Structure 1
Amino acid sequence: MPDVQFLGHACFRLRGRDGTVLCDPFNRSIGLDIGRPTAHIVTISHNHADHNNVAAVKPLREKLFVVESPGEYEVSGIMITGVRTYHDKERGAERGYNTVYVIHLDEVVFCHLGDLGHELTQAQLEAIGNVDVLFVPVGGGETIGPAEAINVISQIEPRIVVPMHYALAQLSFDEPLLPLERFTTEMGLKEMSAEDKLTLNASQLTAEREETRLVVLRPILG
């Protein structure tokens, strides 16, 4: 039964029986302090300061395994697939590449979209495959905004959606992000409560109804 915590911005910690994966750790330049989170594996979607602070992560084993490019990886029973995408709508001409990661942990399939800047092609969707939990940027700026995020969710059809990369009080960017409420309103939700942690059970996910469920996680900062 893996569990998920939101460390702020686009950073999540996935903990299961086979290990702990940390996605897109950020540095203090964005106004948030990630502290010293622990992990066995770190995934980096692209080489920007708000997504690539590997130095902040404390290894749970002798050496931290860092995944920062497309490909297939297996680390102590955890399967990770990196899928090449782009940080913009111009095939990377403006902001470069982005890697989407599909993470198989304790029979649950997670997908972290990083700073995805476009809707997905059929080839990218096939490479991603079936997804249980999708971490999707929703705040616009240098990545997709609310309407595009909803389109990407419809493309992937996950069981659970967890929004990320939206405005937080402490965040500081040259191009401000949109608040989470813009996304939830676009989704047709009037009220949404935040949870401290998401705990998952593969058999329960299989039994869940077809409709995608939105889960908002409260950031655990510092």
Structure 2
Amino acid sequence: MRAFASLLCFILCSAALQAQERRQSHCIALARSVPGMEYLQQASWQDPVAGDSVQIRYIAHASFLLRTAGGLNVVTDFTGFTGAAPMIPDVVTMNHAHETHWTAHPDPAIPHVLQGWGPFGAGIEHHLDLGEMLIRNVPTDIRNMFGGVEVRGNSIFVFEAAGLCIGHLGHLHHVPTPEQYAALGRLDVVMAAVDGGITLPLDQMLEVLGRLRSSVIIPMHWFSDTSLERFLARIGPEFDVVDEGNSALSVSLRSLPSRPTIHVLRPKYLLDGE
């Protein structure tokens, strides 16, 4: 009995400690924000991340590296290649609308491989609590190559860390439903495909971004400066635009801009020693 009590105490104490490791996000309630953003300039992707912050580095196409102060490395829309640096992510997320968003052969050394789809039409649900970060998903539908629809075939992944709620829209093919918006909650930062056709037409993506009202929007899935500029020209005066040629930024609750801001990052593969 004494051994059982000790085990129970250990489990409860461990759970309490894990809960304290992650600052609760403001996905539902709108966080107070102040002007300013902390930008990374000429910084190594391997540099330590400041406390209460998340570093976001654009790797390529729809792949981003999210790093936390505690050393978690998470790669979105993982294709199996992040660059020449010998980095094994702790978590990768994937979507399978196109081969540039997933791999059928992820490195078996990766502890957590989260597919954004399940059995056809059934979708999948993720709720991965790593202490410092909570990762969950909201399924959406995608068009298939035969002109039909794969219900719940895409996932919008949400990463809650450092009090922030960060969303990656994946290969979004339709405007989310009210229920899907509610499941997403308040996204402080969102990565959004702005190609204007292969995913969502620009009018619909602008509708989504207007509804989300995220503090920071990071364009992705643009195939040339022309498609990026087309999106920026359409975004409207209610959004500020920052384009300083960087590939990364570090964001925290205290540094969220007071106005919705499009932050353009330039994709760059991970290199050892940089």
CA distance in 1, matches of 2:245, 2:205: 19
1:42 has 2:95 as partner: no
1:138 has 2:194 as partner: yes
Alignment check: 8 A CA contact 2:167 2:190 kept? yes
Q: 1:75 aligns with which of 106, 111, 130?
A: 130
Alignment check: 8 A CA contact 2:189 2:216 kept? yes
1:120 has 2:176 as partner: yes
Residue number in structure 1 paired with 2:64? 12
Task: Give how far 1:71 is off.
Answer: 2.9
CA distance in 1, matches of 2:134, 2:177: 23
Q: Which has the higher contact order (CA 8 A, sep 6+)?
A: 2
Residue number in structure 1 paired with 2:204? 148
Alignment check: 8 A CA contact 1:22 1:43 kept? yes
Moved more, 111-120 or 33-42: 33-42
Query: Which deviations, in whole Å up to 9, do the C-alpha atoms of 1:148-199 show, x marking residues without a partner?
Result: 2111111211110001111148xxxxxxxx7111100111479844322111
Letter in 2 for 1:70: E
Residue number in structure 1 paired with 2:264? 216
Report % sequence identity.
25
Which stretches in structure 1 are left out of the alignment for 5+ residues? 28-32, 170-177
Secondary structure, in 3 states, of the residue corresponding to 2:182?
helix
Residue number in structure 1 paired with 2:113? 66
CA distance in 2, matches of 1:57, 1:114: 21
1:200 has 2:251 as partner: yes
Q: How many residues align?
A: 201
Task: Give how far 1:56 is off.
Answer: 5.9
Which stretches in structure 2 are left out of the alignment for 5+ residues? 1-52, 116-123
Alignment check: 8 A CA contact 2:97 2:142 kept? no
CA distance in 2, matches of 1:12, 1:78: 16
The structure number with the bigger radius of gyration is 2
TM-score, length-scaled by structure 1: 0.79
CA distance in 2, matches of 1:122, 1:101: 17
Letter in 2 for 1:195: N
Alignment check: 8 A CA contact 1:35 1:56 kept? no
CA distance in 2, matches of 1:197, 1:191: 12
Task: Give how far 1:84 is off.
Answer: 0.8
